[in-house]
Structures are given as structure tokens and as C-alpha cells.
A and B are shown apart, each in its own frame.
Chain A
Amino acid sequence: MSLLGRLRHTSTGPTCHEDVSTAAPDTGQRVIALVGNPNVGKSTLFNSLTGAKRSIGNWPGTTVEVGQGRLAGHAPEKSTGPLGSIPELTVLDLPGAYSLDPNSPDEALTRDLVVGRETHELPDVVVLIADAPNLTRSLYLLAQLRELPLRIIVALSMVDLATSAGIGVDIDVLAEAAGVIVVPVDARRRHGVDDLIKTIVDELDTPVPSPRRESDHLEQMTPLEVLDERFAWVSRVVDVSTVPTAQPRPTFSDRLDRVALAPVVGPLLFLAVMWGVFQLTTTVAAPMQDGLDRFAAGTVSDLAVNLLDLIGLGGGVIEGFIVDGLIAGVGMLLTFVPVMGIMFLCLAALENSGYLARGAVVTDRMMRLIGLPGRAFLPLVVGFGCNVPAISAARVLPDARQRLLVSLLVPYTSCSARLAVYVLVATTFFGSAAGTVVFVMYLVSILFVIGIGLLLKATAIRALPDDPLFIDLPRYQAPLPKMLFDLTWVRLRGFLRTAGGIIVVTVIAVWFLTAMPVRGGGDFGEVDPRDSVYGELSAGLAPVFAPAGFDDWHTSAALITGFVAKEAVISTWAQTYSTAEPTSESEPGILGERLRDDFERTSGGHTSAAVLAFMVFLLAYTPCVATLAGQKREIGLRWTMGSVGLNLVAAWIVAVAVFQIGSLIT
């Protein structure tokens, strides 16, 4: 079956190339195939050659189907010269491709149609549209095409753009060096199109050339050697055929990267940007959090109490469950919304602007300095959003030891759920310095990753291969508002769904355990939380934290539920302190007051040191159960249990050190 015969079967559904279904008979039809990189003006040239009327876009991938038209019968309206008799020719507009080694369905189709299975299936002439400003990229495709028995013509487009970009192309030298006919064209203005048509017609009468290869042993070469052969040829052709006519002007991205990627300034800038993110998050979110807290703990709780009174259920177990349990828990979740929303918005802006990739480059350098594999950084970045997908992201690492190392390090990356706790604690204890304190927690997180990484590398996971990292640096761009808000909303909604479910379940469980008396003689639901099952359990654990200065049972209780999910820490505090009371703008909330009282008491007056110790412990003591489940799946139960043990020991040691040293200073 000929190329056209096969084409009918490969084209499906309605396309912008409406004449595909009216293909010419597949016997004796001569075929001209237009190939080229995406966005080189291939579709524009196709329209000029065939007179077809269809939409033309200047974005990559505009040609997603095979277009087909006839050269004869379409005498160009603005023909600038006599063409003589043109034979019946079919022109195919193949999908844009950078290479005949496809990595997309479009490129696979182009390869299939150009390479063919049999010699008689090949196009009669292949016109490679090469854009002069990106000659190197187009010439690689030419390097592959010339290895096939094909008549090839290069239609060189955008020569004017190359000239204005400071690249002069010598057409004759290019043709001689590449060994093909080169015709400069400007399809939008029809310049050179008639010359191209004439060249195509003339070329049809020449014998099909043999494959042109630099080496006779291409089949025996490794893929890397083949690439070396082709790119050496491309490099030679570009060198002899192009002349810089002006110094290339650095782009906006180039100028920014001189700062963003500078060896010393780059990392400092990255840290400054991240500090700005957390400062913005805490300062902007704080008043909104207060408002939502007042709404949930005041308005909604009062309304619920009044309603329950009206229907005769006030003052009992049910009121306790609804007001101190559900409303307190869901209200606490609501206060997370501004924090997480602003945080996700900032991160989306960093991502969308292209800056995040620069952050990866400078951080990779730091990781290499301490001997950790650069690629390990990427899953760890994900971990700062959520530990669960970060564990999965480690799968892209090629080496099992690297995957193990990263899976063990992910729990030390401070996920967004911990951020909500940091913000509440930092604003309660550190006031206007809250943003800086939160930022410091992220630095501590990085130090944990580095420290534990070096420890594991020196002990359990030795001889780590250094898999090379290559980062695709997108151009800087102004973040697109719609994309930012979409991304923020998607992530915020995901966070609320997950956290909402966890918090409601945890709140119910904690309420049940705090309602169940274990001493003091109270009835179910009418017991002081300290006399409940949960209070007794937490009080039994609290002495462990005495060396770290926070051995109060409320905090132990919060850390127990924090094992399930960090989001539940605050709601457990609220429940065990029973603080369903409204806050005012000028006075700190009841929860804040009680936390301050207890931290001051347990720390012997070194409150700041104890609070920092608590935050450090919260950061490192263990990830949530979902992360542990992911760890177990990826690295097995034994390593997961070992990881939890290491988390707890490392967190406790560092927290104790922070408190002991801090209490000497403060």
C-alpha cells in the first residue's frame, strides 16, 4: 500500500484539514511531504503551496493531524513568476517533529509517514522547513532525514528574524555543507514560494539519492555514538554557514538568571524569597484567621448552643460533642484556609513564574557540596507541599539506595499541614516575629534533611551513586492570574478534603476519649478532660518531654493526634483546653492564653525556648499515618519502623538541645 493509502487509515475524525477524506487516488500519485519542527511556519507554507484555507496558529503543536492538499489547480494568486506546467502533486503537511526518534504521538506519526516501511512508500520529495533562527534544531532533523533514501529540499524560513537576531545565514554555503538544495522562503509574503515549487518539480525528475551517512557503521553504533555523529555534522554545517552579525542581546530571563543562579547571591536570594513567602503568609493570614476563629468559636457556637437549648438538648453530652467537638474542630479547619490559600498562591506564583526551577538549581548545588545526590532534591521539594506524594515521587530515582534515602528523608521536609500549627504557635508566642520564626522552621527542616542525610550516608546507606541532574529552566514569565487561582483552588480543595475528613474523625475520637471518665467519678461527657481516658494517657506520656520544657498533658495529647495528622494538633488543643469561646481583636484567644500559661509553667519561665523546642519536635517526630503507609509500600515495614524510631529519637534529641541551650540564653 502506498503512502496515501496508509494515510487514509491513520487519519481519524474531523480535523482542520478537511480535505483529507478526499485524498487523491493512491496509484501513480506523487507526494510532497512537508516536515519540520513545530512552529516553523509549516502550515503557512502548506497554505501557500495549496491555497487551502484553514486556521493557522503560531503556537507549537498547531499541526496535530496530517493535512493534505493539491499543488496543481491552485495557481498561486499572487504568483511572482512563471511556473510553467505543474504536474498533479499531493502535498502532505505532517505533524511537527523535532526528531525521528519520537516522544509523542504526533512525532510517531511523522516518523511513520516519512520513514515508511518500504521504499515505495516514501514521499517523492521531502521539504524540510527549517527556521533560520533555530537552525541547529532543524538541522538535526535533516541529519536524520539524509540517512534515508529521500529527495530532500530545505525551505529556509524566518531568515529576516535570524538577521534581526544577529545571525547571518549564507544560503549557498549551507546548501553545499548540508548537501541539499536550500530555498529561502517567506510563506506569509509568498516570497520564494514559486522558486520552491519549481525546485520541487525539478527535483522529481532526479534519481532518488542513496542514504548519506557520516559513518558506514551506523547500525553497529551505540545510541550515544549515533548522536555524536549527527551532532558533529550539525555543528560543522552551522559553523560554516552562519555568521554572527551582531552580539546576541541577552534576554530578560538571561539577565535575571545572572542574579538568580549566581553562586553566592543565588542561594541567598532563594532564602530571601522563601522568607518573604512565609512572612506574607503569616502577616496577611493572621487577621483573617482571627475573624474566622471568632466566627466559628463565637457566632456559630452560640447559635448551636441556643438551638440545642431550644430543642431541649443543651448542657449535656450532645452539646459537648457538637460545640466542643465538631464545631471546634471544623472551626479550626476553617482558620487554616487563609494560611493554606496564601501559601499555595505564593508557591503557585513561584512555580508559574519559572523561579522555582532556579531555586532547584541553587539548592542542588548546596546538596552536592555536602555529597547528597542532586536529583534527591526534587521529591524533597514536593515534600514541602505534602509528604505523601513526595514518597511516591522518589520512584523516579533510578537507584534503590537513592529511593530508600529519599523516602527516609521526606518526613523531615516540613509539609503544609505543619505550617498551620507553626503559624498558630508563632503568632501566639512571637507576635510580629511570627513570619521569621516560621521561616526558621523551614531552615531547621532543611538542616534536618542534610544532617539525617549525612548520618544515613555514613551508616546505613553507603556508596550512593550520584545520578546526574538536568533541570529544564523555563523562561521567566508573569504568573497568569487564572492559572494561579486554579492551581491554588485545586490544592486548597484537596487539602481541605483530606484535612477535613481527618480532623472530623480525630475530633470525634478525641471527644469520645476525653468524655470517658477514668477517675474523679464523673459521668460520660461530664468529666474534666484531665480525668478522662485521653487525659490520663497523655499525662502518662508528658514526662518524656520534661527535658524539652513542654511536659504538659494537653501538649502530649496534641502530639498523639498529630501522629495521625498534623492538622489535628490544634483541634486537639482546643478540645482538651475546652476553649470554645470567642476571641477579641485586642486580647489573645483563650487557647493562646492557656498555651502561654502552660508553656511558661512547664519551662520554668523559659517559654520561648520551650516553644521552639516544641515546634522542632513537631517538625521531625513523625510524619502523618498516610505518609507512613506510603513509606511502608515503597521501602517495606522494617525500614518504615526504623524511620519512625529515627524520627522520634532525632526529634527528641534536637528538641531537648534547643530547650536546654535556649534556656541558658533566654
Chain B
Amino acid sequence: MSKPATTVKTAVAAGATTVDTISRVTGLPPELVTAITDELERAGELQVDHVGFGCPVGSCGSCASSESCESPSSK
């Protein structure tokens, strides 16, 4: 695989949303995909999302409720 990072980025753009899915569609080992997605995120080439019902994905400063919010992350 001469361009593994490009391959992973292309797979994400095509709709692969998890490490396992990317690994399946690219044939790259999951541990390599994990390492690549982490580095793509550091390089600003990929945004990794963490899902939750609570606070918004951005920081507290981006939230309209932050002033009245009692969540630990606002402390």
C-alpha cells in the first residue's frame, strides 16, 4: 500500500464511518487504520466525532447554554 493515509481519507469520504468499516473496504489492518485516522485528525485532514446526548461537539464556549450549564466540563 503506497498511500495508506490517502486511501483511508478516501474511504471516509466515501461513507466509511468506523475503523472496522474502513479496514474492510481498504484491506488495511485495523491498527494501521486507527493510527492513520489519529494522524489525519492531528493534521487537520479529518474530523473525528464523539457522540453524546449532552454537551455539543464544540467546546462550552460555543454553547448558548454555557452560562446556565452545570456540567462538569464547564467548570
Contacts and interface: CB of A to CB of B under 8 A. Distances in A.
Given A98-B38, A101-B39, A392 B56 contact: yes
A494 interface: yes
Given A99-B42, A224-B9, A396-B57, 6 more contacts: A234-B32, A382-B53, A382-B55, A395-B56, A470-B49, A472-B48
B47 A498 contact: no
Interface string A525-550: 00000000000000000000000000
A9 to B, nearest CB: 26
A379 B6 contact: no
Contacts of A393: 56-58, 62-63
Interface stretch (A20-28, A52-60, A301-309, A485-493): A485-493
- Complex A-B, nearest 7 residue pairs according to Cβ-Cβ distance, in ascending order: A393-B56, A227-B5, A360-B51, A223-B43, A228-B3, A392-B63, A231-B4
B64 A630 contact: yes
A17 B75 CA distance: 28
Contacts of A629: 64
Nearest to A253: B20
B4 A235 contact: yes
A330 B39 CA distance: 52
Contact of B47 (A356, A368, A470): A470
A629 B65 CA distance: 11
Contact of B49 (A235, A347, A378): A378
Interface in A127-146: 134, 136-137, 140
Contacts of B50: 357, 471-472
A351 B53 contact: yes
Interface residues of A, number: 70
B38 A99 contact: yes
Q: Which of A136, A257, A368, A384 has the most CB of B within 10 A?
A: A136
A437 B57 CA distance: 30
16 contacts: A224-B40, A232-B1, A232-B2, A234-B32, A261-B18, A364-B17, A365-B15, A374-B17, A381-B51, A388-B64, A392-B62, A396-B62, A470-B17, A471-B50, A626-B64, A626-B65
B61 to A, nearest CB: 9
B56 A136 contact: no
Nearest to A236: B1
B53 A493 contact: no
B25 interface: no
Contact of A368 (B15, B45, B69): B15
Interface of B: 1-6, 9, 12-13, 15, 17-20, 28-29, 31-32, 34-58, 62-65, 68-72
B4 to A, nearest CB: 4
Interface string A219-260: 000011001100110110010000000000000001001000
Nearest to B37: A470
A389 B68 contact: no
Nearest to A466: B13
A382 B54 CA distance: 6
Contact of A356 (B3, B15, B53, B56): B53
B36 A231 contact: yes
A83 interface: no
A391 interface: yes
A183 to B, nearest CB: 23
B15 A396 contact: no
A108 B29 CA distance: 28
A469 interface: yes
B52 to A, nearest CB: 5
Contacts of A379: 56-57
Contacts of A231: 4-5, 32, 35-36, 39
A375 interface: yes
A390 B53 contact: no
Contact of A633 (B45, B49, B64, B72): B64
Q: Which of A231, A381, A385 has the most CB of B within 10 A?
A: A231
A470 B15 contact: no
Nearest to B47: A470
A469 B9 CA distance: 11
A359 B17 CA distance: 12
A386 interface: yes
A102 B39 CA distance: 10
Contacts of A360: 49, 51
A410 to B, nearest CB: 11
Contact of A101 (B18, B42, B52, B63): B42
B13 A468 contact: yes
B2 A389 contact: no
A473 interface: yes
Given A235-B1, A364-B17, A392-B64, A224 B45 contact: yes
Q: Which of A347, A390, A396, A633 has the most CB of B within 10 A?
A: A396
Contact of A389 (B3, B49, B55): B55
